[in-house]
Chain A
């Protein structure tokens, strides 16, 4: 689809591909740590207090999940962009706009979670 939708830009497309691959490497490592922590943390059951106790106010975890969110905000929209271009007849510019909005939304929602968990440390 989108045959007559203008020539794509080789440099931009290649940079997006590269950005998606690099963010994939970051995510692969981080998901490993993330899942490992979950498996370790739930060994005696799972409580909100325990999570806040571990993550709240901890700068290391805030930076870790900050990078996690950033990698996700780069990785996912580029993939969605490719899928939309393949399975819908939407114009290229519309797809780019939708995916940019998805990136901003993922980054914003993720940032809020990281910020709020960090802030919870001062309450606990």
Chain B
């Protein structure tokens, strides 16, 4: 894409009251979607609300819906996601809109806690180091899901989250799976009880919208399938309440 005028539709307002407003922005070859939103806020619409922090794909704060798909805007090049020069930017789905492109994410993070996404240590500084072999099966399974940046893109892309608001969602269940495979963690049973059930892993349809959209190329569906396996074994052993 050579430099061109971009037609950018941006959601302004809240979920109840809002609409798309059109802006014209001169797009450069190396522009990201976040660059475009930042340009609009700095030069065209100072009251535009949006969220970002690191700009390099680490913090997970700049996720928005771009041309219908949830994306990390700081690493989404305009030339790739909108080759025709037309951008439609909306807040993430399944989250309450605070204003414009900023969404309320507390429900998303509460669900990480509800899925026992917290590490429960079994040793303290008096103990020797835990020795976890890098090539052990559990360490590898944990590593497969560990790079989540909590951007909420998988959550917004999940149809089940949209249909069933108490569903824990791909990010929380993926986090739980990494801890299920953490041999140092001491809350195995408690966590399996937290993720089993109709708001947890068993509700997942394996549609893989999360896999499709995860900017870190993680596979939350595989993590959820892992949880289904271990909870099934746990229930046969009588370990679920």
| A, B: real partners | yes
Q: Check B160 against A10 for contact (C-beta < 8 Å).
A: no
* Contact of A44 with B by CB under 8 A: no
User: With an 8 A cutoff between CB atoms, is B110 at the interface?
Assistant: no
In the bound complex, what is the Cα–Cα distance between A2 and B196 (angstroms)?
17
As a 0/1 sequence over residues 1 to 39 of chain A, the CB contacts with chain B under 8 angstroms (1 = contact) are 111000111110111111001000000000000000000
Whether A14 and B203, one on each chain, are in contact in the complex, defined by CB atoms closer than 8 angstroms, is no
Please indicate which of the listed interface residues B192, B198, B203, B228 has the most CB atoms of chain A within 10 Å of its own CB.
B198
B235 close to A82 (CB less than 8 A):
no
Q: Are B164 and A17 in contact (CB under 8 A)?
A: no
List the B side residues contacting A86 at CB < 8 Å: 160, 163-164, 203
Contact A17 B163 (CB under 8 A): no
Q: B197 contacts which chain A residues (CB < 8 A)?
A: 7-10, 13-14
Whether the Cβ atoms of A17 and B166 lie closer than 8 Å is: no
Contact of A1 among B165, B192, B236 (CB under 8 A): B165
Please measure, in the bound complex, the distance between the C-alpha atom of A85 and the C-alpha atom of B231, giving whole angstroms. Answer: 21
Number of chain A residues close to chain B: CB under 8 A: 19
A87 proximal to B (CB < 8 A): yes
At the interface, is chain A mostly helix, strand, loop or mixed? helix
Tell me the smallest distance from the CB of B228 to a CB of chain A, in Å: 7
Q: CA–CA, A35 to B196, complex, Å?
A: 36
Choice from A1, A10, A14, A16 contacting B164 with Cβ under 8 Å: A1
- Complex contacts, B231 vs chain A, CB 8 Å: 10, 14
In the complex, chain A residues whose CB is within 8 Å of the CB of B193: 10
Task: Give the CA-CA distance A18 to B237 in the complex, in Å.
Answer: 13
- Which residues of A lie under 8 Å from residue B198 when comparing CB positions? 8, 13, 82, 85
Of all chain A residues, which has the CB nearest B236? Answer: A18
The majority secondary structure among interface residues of chain B is: helix
Please encode chain A, from 29 to 64, with 1 for each CB lying within 8 Å of some chain B CB and 0 for all others.
000000000000000000000000000000000000
A17→B240 contact, CB < 8 A: no
Given A10-B240, A11-B240, A13-B196, check contact A85 B164 (CB 8 Å). Answer: yes
B199 within 8 A of A: yes
Asked whether, in the complex, the Cβ of B166 is within 8 Å of the Cβ of A18, the reply is no
Chain A residues closer than 8 Å to B196, beta-carbon distance: 10-11, 13-14
Give every chain A residue within 8 A of B199 (Cβ-Cβ): 8
**B241 touching A3, Cβ below 8 Å:** no
**Is there an interface contact between A17 and B160, defined as CB atoms closer than 8 Å?**
no
Interface residues of A in 64-93 (CB under 8 A from B): 82, 85-87
Which residues of A lie under 8 Å from residue B165 when comparing CB positions? Answer: 1, 3
Q: Which residues of A contact B202 (CB under 8 A)?
A: 13-14, 16-17
Least CB separation from B234: chain A residue: A14
Known contacts A1-B164, A2-B166, A14-B196; can you find 4 more A-B pairs with CB under 8 A? Answer: A10-B197, A16-B202, A17-B202, A86-B203
Interface of B toward A, CB cutoff 8 Å: 160, 163-166, 192-194, 196-200, 202-203, 228, 231-232, 234-236, 240-241
Interchain residue pairs A-B with the least CB separation, the first 7:
A10-B196, A11-B240, A8-B197, A14-B235, A13-B197, A17-B202, A8-B198
16 CB < 8 A contacts A-B: A1-B163, A2-B166, A3-B166, A7-B197, A9-B241, A10-B192, A10-B196, A10-B197, A11-B241, A13-B197, A14-B231, A14-B240, A17-B202, A18-B236, A85-B198, A86-B160
- Which residues of A come within 8 Å of B, CB atoms? 1-3, 7-11, 13-18, 21, 82, 85-87
